[in-house]
Structure 1
Amino acid sequence: MEPRHSPNRTDIEHGIFVNRHQFGLHLLQIFMVGLTIGMIRVVVPGLAETEFGLADQAFFLLTSFVVVFGIIKAVMNLFAGRLSEQYGRKSVLVWGWLVALPVPFLLLYANSWGWVIAATVLLGFNQGLAWSMALNSKLDLAKPSQKGLVNGVNEFSGYVAVGLAGVMTAYFVDWFGAREGLFIFSLAVILLGLVLAEWTIVETLPWAARHQALVESPDAEPDSRSFKQLFRLASRDNTALVAINQAGLVEKFTDALVWIFLPVYFLAQGLTLVEAGAIIAVYGLVWGGGQLVTGPLSDKIGRKGLIVWGMWLCGAGVLAIPLSQGVVWWSLEAGLVGLGMAMLYPNLGAAAGDFAPVAHRASVIGIYRFWRDSGYAFGALAMGLAAQISQDLQTPFWLVAVSMGLSGIWVALKVHYSDDKDPPTTASEKRG
């Protein structure tokens, strides 16, 4: 799908302000994608037994839909960047919305847990394609010195939407019933996202090409590394990228815990679905809103410290939840976890971009996002087994807290910027 208005090379200028119209439209795309995943983060786990046929105490099966989501999203992240370099960012964005169209109907007519898993597979495709492209397009439009800001506002838009959708769908379910409420909300969001992607978005590959031309010498040989070589670079050879990728994987343990076990845990403590949704929304809103500060802050003071302390704050907040009682305490602890995520989340993505060869930034960020979102699968699988064996809802909290602490230590020891300069200068754009 070619853009209706492709810019001439003379029209291309980098910067968020000068490209604010398209930048804002891509933020709206991220908000829509956040709504699509946020709509099932409270309602589906909370009503897994009563509405979708899942047996009580079937903790391992409860995690299965997040395991599947993580695998699909991780694989799509891996290839979305490469696909966008071949077919364009806009085409991949539109594909992401098209594949999500059956989701509302699967949730409406689900007569077993398998239907929920099928819907989650499609949501994994949607997330991997649409979120990746909206982020890469904003990075194309922005200046190299704005990567932290881009990641901050990107994750703000997406995870504020995740938090809001959790509360909104809880109310929709209260008003219309579980299936009907999910159907109305999800169909409206997906159709709107598709229409806006097709009719308002402009292809940003020309901006990406201009980035590459600005940092490469005219006489330089083109960087023609294969995808296999790039994957090996990011996953084995570059110690900083390996540390960043493992931190991305482990931090998803926290989000998987919030997604799967927090609604179930709060309902087991006697809260209503709306009350549980409100507490979990605190996590999403603090996470999303905090990134407006932590993303651009990393461009000024550096990314590493924010990442490491964010990992440790998340671990502390997760551990505190089962050790306390009451809505007030749980809301404060959810906010603490959200703050930790705000510190680490946009800056892990920005750090991956710092160490990526400019010509292959979308691919390397895609590899980071592959490892990061595979954390949904690894984390959900580990937590599900731990809870199933122990038959104790508190076990996953301990598992996640310890994992976050150890992962933060790894980043502290292995991520080093050249000449000890963090935040990176534009010279780091030439690394690779």
Structure 2
Amino acid sequence: MSTRPVRLGLRQNLTQFSLLVVVNALVGGMVGQEQTVLPLLAEREFHLTGYTVLLTYVLVFGLSKAATNYFAGTWSDRFGRKPVLIAGWLIAIPVPVMLIWATHWGWIVAANLLLGINQGLTWSTTVIMKVDLVGPRRRGLAMGLNEAAGYGAVALTAALAGYLAEQYGLRPAPFLLGAAYVVLALALSTLAVGETREHARAEARQSSGSNSSTEHTALTNRQVFVRTTVTDPALSSASQAGLVNNLNFGLSWGLFPLLFASAGLAVDRVGMLVALYPAVWGIGQLATGALSDRWGRKHLITTGMFLQAVALALIATVGTFPAWATATALLGAGTAMVYPTLLATISDVAHPSWRARSVGVYRLWRDSGYAAGAVLGGIVADLWDLRAAVWAAAALSLVAGINVAIRMYESHPRTGRQHVDHTKDTA
């Protein structure tokens, strides 16, 4: 057994951190293979017409991913990070095959159930492992790099899948991308990625030594859940903003391709618009994650939610490719301000001894947004139309921004109050 000392920091752990960035890009690519193609597949091959029925795959994906996020946090504390990561990729093996050979819509829904479990286990674990490695000083940058890799791959794969679908048909070509991603990610996770749980334990020892009270280090799962969901203003408002953020993403996944196609756009042009949102989102996080380490978390999150509301209102109003391109880029920019910053907020406030569980609870609520977006978007679109569903999401984004502005305290250690002010359990 190696006795090499554990060191915290991005530079000190650059090789492992970079491997995890690559793995998370492959995690994002598994979602990207579906984004452009599945809504069109539902209409053209499975002849689904009701938006609520069509969005069943987003609903199932969101519920399974949300629930798995919670268990990923607790399991990574109990069994280690690496076994959870490998298990997530094993679950993904059947997904591309099911998407290619499905003869009934139920198979598509079942594939997305497995995909949600895959995403919950793998994405949650790469987040936790990166936070373990970098320590407290560069969390915003770490989360920016993580989420940029994931959503950059969503964008690239969505655009490439749209091109393949236009050239070779909706199946099987786009989903061969996912098959390649699974093979590569499973090999990297098994053979190259190392365990990072000892890094979290090292940080916990340092944190306990520097704080006057260590009462907060021994929290039950219930106490962590209640604190992250309700009682801590930063943790709970971050969870609520995350839910609305992913409601917007779930809505975009299920309804944006249909809205754009209704204007007569070709599949490859629809794919470009669908890809632009996560592309700006992914690239923007390279800057916003690091900026949150300099400027603090709260104002970036508030501004990002308000910008998403404006962008969604614009998408609901316009009807041309250039105007939609502008609006989806704005939506991506608003999401880039929010996404890594919310994760950094959770990591600021949660003690290392229960941080993985708090991340799991946050991601439970955040990814419930997929399901909420599917239900809200489907019902509103069926009752009124696609544009009304987008207007509803814009209104919720505005409310979430107001909630953050009122309730969230600044969590970054150099720019605001630290989490030790909020460690007494009220559950």
Q: TM-score, normalised by structure 2?
A: 0.95
- Structure 1 residues 233 and 335: alpha-carbon distance in aligned structure 2, compared to 1, 3 A threshold: same
Is the contact made by 1:252 and 1:372 (CA closer than 8 Å) also made in structure 2?
yes
Gaps of at least 5 residues in structure 2 are none
Deviations along 1:303-338, whole A, 9 cap, x unmatched?
111101100111111110131232111111110000
Q: Please point out which of 92, 96, 108 is paired with 1:116.
A: 108
Is the contact made by 1:387 and 1:396 (CA closer than 8 Å) also made in structure 2?
yes
Q: Does 2:356 match 1:362?
A: yes
Q: Does 2:148 match 1:153?
A: no
- In structure 2, give the amino acid aligned to 1:399: A
- Residue 3 of structure 1 is matched in structure 2 by none
- In structure 1, give the amino acid aligned to 2:285: Q
Q: Does 2:36 match 1:42?
A: yes
Is the contact made by 1:15 and 1:141 (CA closer than 8 Å) also made in structure 2?
yes
- Structure 1 residues 256 and 222: alpha-carbon distance in aligned structure 2, compared to 1, 3 A threshold: closer
- Residue 64 of structure 1 is matched in structure 2 by 56
- Residue 408 of structure 2 is matched in structure 1 by 415
**Cα distance between partner residues in 2 of 1:222 and 1:429:** 9
- Structure 1 residues 149 and 106: alpha-carbon distance in aligned structure 2, compared to 1, 3 A threshold: same
Q: Does 2:69 match 1:93?
A: no
Within 5 A, what are the aligned runs for 1:282-301? 282-301=276-295
Percent of aligned pairs sharing the same letter:
37
- Structure 1 residues 55 and 209: alpha-carbon distance in aligned structure 2, compared to 1, 3 A threshold: same
**Cα distance between partner residues in 1 of 2:262 and 2:410:** 46
Q: Please point out which of 160, 165, 169 is paired with 1:168.
A: 160
Q: Does 2:390 match 1:397?
A: yes
- Structure 1 residues 316 and 422: alpha-carbon distance in aligned structure 2, compared to 1, 3 A threshold: farther
- Residue 190 of structure 1 is matched in structure 2 by 182
- In structure 1, give the amino acid aligned to 2:180: A
Is the contact made by 2:162 and 2:174 (CA closer than 8 Å) also made in structure 1?
no
Q: Please point out which of 241, 244, 249 is paired with 2:235.
A: 241
**Cα distance between partner residues in 2 of 1:351 and 1:257:** 25
- Structure 1 residues 123 and 428: alpha-carbon distance in aligned structure 2, compared to 1, 3 A threshold: same
- In structure 2, give the amino acid aligned to 1:62: L
Q: Please point out which of 123, 137, 142 is paired with 2:129.
A: 137
Deviations along 1:383-420, whole A, 9 cap, x unmatched?
11111112x111111100000001100000001137x9
Is the contact made by 1:357 and 1:431 (CA closer than 8 Å) also made in structure 2?
no
- In structure 2, give the amino acid aligned to 1:331: A
**Cα distance between partner residues in 1 of 2:147 and 2:48:** 35
Q: Please point out which of 205, 208, 213 is paired with 1:213.
A: 205
Q: Please point out which of 337, 340, 344 is paired with 1:346.
A: 340
Is the contact made by 2:247 and 2:373 (CA closer than 8 Å) also made in structure 1?
yes
Q: Please point out which of 379, 383, 393 is paired with 1:385.
A: 379
How far 1:92 sits from its partner (Å)?
0.4
Is the contact made by 1:7 and 1:206 (CA closer than 8 Å) also made in structure 2?
no
Q: Secondary structure at the match of 2:145?
A: helix
- Structure 1 residues 213 and 421: alpha-carbon distance in aligned structure 2, compared to 1, 3 A threshold: closer
- In structure 2, give the amino acid aligned to 1:394: R
- In structure 2, give the amino acid aligned to 1:308: T
- Structure 1 residues 353 and 111: alpha-carbon distance in aligned structure 2, compared to 1, 3 A threshold: same
Within 5 A, what are the aligned runs for 1:207-286? 207-217=199-209, 220=214, 223-286=217-280
Is the contact made by 2:233 and 2:409 (CA closer than 8 Å) also made in structure 1?
no
Q: How many residues align?
A: 421
**Cα distance between partner residues in 2 of 1:47 and 1:183:** 12
How far 1:361 sits from its partner (Å)?
0.5
